[in-house]
Structure 1
Amino acid sequence: MLLKRLINKLKIINEIEDGTLEQTVRGIAENSRKVQPGFVFVAISGYGNDGHDYIEHAIENGASFVIGEAKNLELPVPYIQVDDSRKALGLLAKNFYHNPSNAKLMIGITGTNGKTTTSYLLKQIFESTGKSCAIIGTIQNIVNGTVIKSANTTPNSLVAHQLLAESRDDVVIMEVSSHGLTQNRIEGLEFDYCLFTNLHHEHLDYHDSLSDYFQAKSRLFGHLKPTGTAIVSTDTIWGSQLVDLLQARGVRTYAVGESKTNGAGRLAFDVKNSMIQLNEEGTEITIPSPLAGMHNMLNTLLAYSTSRIAGLPPESIVDALHQFKGVAGRFETFKIPNGATIVIDYAHTPDALLHVLTTAKQLAAKRIVHIFGFRGNRDLSKRKEMLLVSSELSDQYILTLDDLNSVALTDMVHNLDSLNDQFGNEKGLIVSDRTLAIKLAMEHSRSGDFIIITGKGHETFQQSYHLPTKSDQETVDYVLNSQVVAR
């Protein structure tokens, strides 16, 4: 591709010689190690590293052009200065890969909780009608039926455009995080449908306030195609605020919730006997929720509503929901031989814990034992609220380790001790080794108990523990195979 086509609509600060614009670009890289001869290297100021420090290395690897934010750089190759390298990367990728999101039915989902479950519900529904679906999200990326490891919930814009260009799928369903939005990782992408699940206390180590967090989430809806539609769950007050904001902008918006005054009456619903009762333009429709819990009913309703707005018939959607098998690490339940139930869930916010523990109570748990921890260097402000929820809803909680990140083991254990002491009750127990905490709970479980293990879900452990396992699921299996649980 000629450089002049690659940088079309890019806001350039410095002057570029006409002859340079006629040169050919063979690829794009934002990592100097991935640069090949004829590539454009985009220098991005990151949170740990500054790409401008690697310009020399990129040129050594064959970069023919460099794009960055630094002023007055004198380089042996043409240099293009821009205000924002991250935004530039998205526009370059869009041009280089010929605007791949334009050729797909694109669905973007944002919110604190429920993004992954809603994504897989939508995948099940669309595939049941013969459509092939790509998933770009937290657990993994699935493109053309092939599973690709996911490094972030939302990949950077270059990777996102590459995945879309490779995809032969009819539908692309993408989880979009607040980090991804503020870091312009979806720059250049446009969506047919943008969904909002909810907003709760989370990531306040990154965002200054809940209002700032909300503003970040709302940026997704600026990426709608001209004919695109916003579908917003009004389960939280933030959803209602988003509906008002979008309607004021003239965005085609559907509000989904229990209220009869959502501005889209056909998407109002009630819950009766664990079934969703939906009045759709005067017709009563019963929708099954394939997963337990009110939060999953809301996810199901959001998926159903999106599918209907996209033109799928209600009977096909309902049939697909009946066939849904669940999502790895999202309220996965396992009955063990002694009659106890194990639940593994990714929940790591106060609201998510509330839903998971409340659901266990609704499923008639005789006793709830909750195992969870906190991630090092992540949003300290939510820890007390998480512990309060567990203390109120569980019969016993076991504080243990989650990812330490850069926090020392002794410091994290001290933090667990301090938090537990503040509650001053006998429900709390600290077992720092996560695998031994699970083993202890299983050994002392009995019929009717629910052992709720939260925080990691589908993820593997970042550090080693006493038992030779790499995930919560592997640990449960190991303990069962070791026959330490009464059968």
Structure 2
Amino acid sequence: MKLSHITAGLQLHHTIDHNFHDLDIKGIADSSKAVKKDFVFIAIRGYNDDGHRHIGHAIENGATAVIGELQMDGLPVPYLRTENTRKALGIAAKNFYGDPASRKTMIGITGTNGKTTTSYLIRHLLEKNGISCSVMGTIRNIVNGHSIESPNTTPSSLILQQLLASSDDEAVVMEVSSHGLSQHRIEGVEFDICLFTNLQHEHLDYHGSMDSYFDAKKILFNQLKPGGTAIINIDDEWGEKLPLELREKGRHICSIGQHPSSHIRIRSMDKENSSAVLDDEEETILQSPIAGTHNIYNSLMAYASALGAGVKKEGMLAALQVFPGVEGRFERSEMPNGSVVIVDYAHTPDAIYHCLTTAKEAGARRVTHIYGFRGDRDTSKRMDILDVSSRLSDHYTLTTDDLNSSSSQEMESIYQDFNTRFGNDKGQIEMDRSQEGDWIIITGKGHEKYSHQFSLPTRSDKETIQYLADGHSSHKI
């Protein structure tokens, strides 16, 4: 592909010299290590490194042209300067791979909680009704029915365009994180349907405030295709604000929830049976295949999305009944002593509230909550999580999660302060562990693997539960 085609749509500080218009480009890279002969290297200024430092290495590896943000002179290859190379990467990658998103039904989901569950629900509804669907998100990417490791909820714009180009699926459903939005990872992609699930206390170590966090989430809706639809949970206080702004921009909105103005309105809910009656001419009964009020909303978001993608209502309601669930999301294991263990990814106050409440609604006699805090991550939500756990669980064990850059001494000091403020009988270690009818809720890691080695030869919460359930250790739940 010609250099002029790859750079179409880029906001450059100067035009490309006519002599370089027809340079043949065979690839794009944002890492100098990935550069090969006749590649364009795009220098990204990251948080731990700056791609401009590696321009020399990229040229040594065969880069024919370089795109960067800094003023640079004297390079032996064409250097194209732009204000934002993260944006440039998305546009250049879209051009190089032929804008594959334009040939698919693109569905993007943003929000604090529910993105993963909703994305898997949508894929299930589409595929059960004859529409093949890729998924890109937190657990893994699934393209053409094959699983691919997913290091980030939202991949870089270059990897995203590569995945889209490799997909033969008719639809693509993506989890779109606030980090991915603020870092322009979906630049160059337009969506047919965009979803807003909710906004809760999370990632404030990165965004600084809830308003800034909300501003990042809103970016997704700027990338709706003409005629695209925004599906918004307006029972959420931030979701209630979003339509006001989108209507001013002429966006088509489908609101969902119990609010009287909802386009798809929940007339009533049966929390115990995780079902809702929708206010339409037939009084549709929506039965969530996963327990919990929050999953009624996730199911309704998926229902509205599939409707928007052309699936018939009857086909969706039938498909919901055979949904297999999602890895690391309220995964249930029965223990030999009759107790139940739940592994869930919940790591925000709201998500943990729903997780513990759902267990009680499902018949838990006593609830034990096991969880931890990650070192140097969003410390502002910790007290709220402790408060929820101490109120709703019958017994809680607060332990450590990944330490990251924090030392064990730092975390121990923090936990001593927590114990002073929240210490009570619920938080003391008990020797008589679980009994029949007890539910143990393990939140935080969900599907993720441990990053440290522990005393048991297991690498995840789910593996640990299975190991103990199989009687391989003297440890007890």
Deviation at 1:475, TM superposition (A): 0.8
Report what 1:307 is aligned to. 306
Deviation at 1:376, TM superposition (A): 1.2
Quick one: which amino acid aligns to residue 448 of structure 1?
G
Alignment partner of 1:406 is 2:395: no
- Tell me how far apart the structure 1 counterparts of residues 335 and 74 of structure 2 sit (CA, whole Å): 67
- Tell me how far apart the structure 1 counterparts of residues 411 and 74 of structure 2 sit (CA, whole Å): 48
* 8 Å CA contact retained: 1:86, 1:183: yes
Alignment partner of 1:154 is 2:151: no
Alignment partner of 1:329 is 2:328: yes
CA deviation vs aligned residue, 1:319-376 (integer Å, no higher than 9, x gap): 1100001100000111111110000000000000000011111112111110001111
The 10-residue stretch of structure 1 (72-81 or 154-163) with the greater mean CA deviation from structure 2? 72-81
Report what 2:425 is aligned to. 426
Quick one: which amino acid aligns to residue 100 of structure 1?
P
Deviation at 1:310, TM superposition (A): 2.3
The 10-residue stretch of structure 1 (134-143 or 301-310) with the greater mean CA deviation from structure 2? 301-310
Aligned residues: 474
Deviation at 1:26, TM superposition (A): 0.6
Deviation at 1:484, TM superposition (A): 4.0
* 8 Å CA contact retained: 2:334, 2:341: yes
Deviation at 1:387, TM superposition (A): 0.4
Partner SS, residue 283 of structure 2: strand
- Structure 1 runs of 4+ aligned residues shifted over 3 Å read 266-269, 483-487
Deviation at 1:248, TM superposition (A): 1.9
Report what 1:51 is aligned to. 51
Report what 1:436 is aligned to. none
Report what 2:97 is aligned to. 97
The 10-residue stretch of structure 1 (270-279 or 311-320) with the greater mean CA deviation from structure 2? 270-279
Partner SS, residue 320 of structure 1: helix
* 8 Å CA contact retained: 1:121, 1:300: yes
Partner SS, residue 251 of structure 2: coil
Unmatched segments (≥5 aa) in structure 2:
none
Alignment partner of 1:244 is 2:244: yes
Deviation at 1:425, TM superposition (A): 1.4
Q: Flag the 1:283–1:33 CA change in 2: closer, same or farther, 3 A.
A: same
Partner SS, residue 9 of structure 1: coil
Quick one: which amino acid aligns to residue 322 of structure 2?
Q
Partner SS, residue 160 of structure 2: helix
Q: Flag the 1:83–1:429 CA change in 2: closer, same or farther, 3 A.
A: farther
Deviation at 1:486, TM superposition (A): 7.9
Partner SS, residue 402 of structure 2: coil
Kindly report which structure 2 residues correspond to 1:53-452, keeping only aligned pairs within 5 A, or say none: 53-262=53-262, 264=263, 266-272=264-270, 273-280=273-280, 282-429=281-428, 444-452=433-441
Report what 2:7 is aligned to. 7
CA deviation vs aligned residue, 1:214-241 (integer Å, no higher than 9, x gap): 1100110001011210000113110010
Partner SS, residue 422 of structure 1: helix
- Tell me how far apart the structure 2 counterparts of residues 120 and 93 of structure 1 sit (CA, whole Å): 27
Deviation at 1:73, TM superposition (A): 3.0
Q: TM-score if structure 1 supplies the norm length?
A: 0.95
- Tell me how far apart the structure 1 counterparts of residues 131 and 474 of structure 2 sit (CA, whole Å): 46
Q: TM-score if structure 2 supplies the norm length?
A: 0.97
Q: Flag the 1:269–1:57 CA change in 2: closer, same or farther, 3 A.
A: farther
Partner SS, residue 407 of structure 1: coil
Report what 1:437 is aligned to. none
- Tell me how far apart the structure 2 counterparts of residues 138 and 351 of structure 1 sit (CA, whole Å): 19
- Tell me how far apart the structure 2 counterparts of residues 362 and 73 of structure 1 sit (CA, whole Å): 66
Quick one: which amino acid aligns to residue 437 of structure 2?
G
- Tell me how far apart the structure 2 counterparts of residues 348 and 74 of structure 1 sit (CA, whole Å): 50
Deviation at 1:429, TM superposition (A): 4.2
Q: Percent identity?
A: 51
Alignment partner of 1:477 is 2:466: yes
- Tell me how far apart the structure 2 counterparts of residues 370 and 410 of structure 1 sit (CA, whole Å): 24
Deviation at 1:420, TM superposition (A): 2.1
* 8 Å CA contact retained: 2:274, 2:295: no
Deviation at 1:275, TM superposition (A): 1.6
- Tell me how far apart the structure 2 counterparts of residues 82 and 156 of structure 1 sit (CA, whole Å): 19
Q: Flag the 1:189–1:429 CA change in 2: closer, same or farther, 3 A.
A: farther
- Tell me how far apart the structure 2 counterparts of residues 42 and 235 of structure 1 sit (CA, whole Å): 42
* 8 Å CA contact retained: 1:259, 1:269: no
- Tell me how far apart the structure 1 counterparts of residues 266 and 440 of structure 2 sit (CA, whole Å): 34
CA deviation vs aligned residue, 1:99-147 (integer Å, no higher than 9, x gap): 1100000000000000000000001100001111100000000011110
Quick one: which amino acid aligns to residue 101 of structure 1?
A
The 10-residue stretch of structure 1 (421-430 or 242-251) with the greater mean CA deviation from structure 2? 421-430
Q: 2:455 aligns with which of 462, 466, 485?
A: 466
CA deviation vs aligned residue, 1:78-105 (integer Å, no higher than 9, x gap): 1000000000000001100111100000
- Tell me how far apart the structure 2 counterparts of residues 14 and 219 of structure 1 sit (CA, whole Å): 28
Quick one: which amino acid aligns to residue 192 of structure 1?
D
Deviation at 1:163, TM superposition (A): 0.2
CA deviation vs aligned residue, 1:28-80 (integer Å, no higher than 9, x gap): 00011100000000000001110111111111111111100011332111100
Pairwise CA RMSD: 1.5
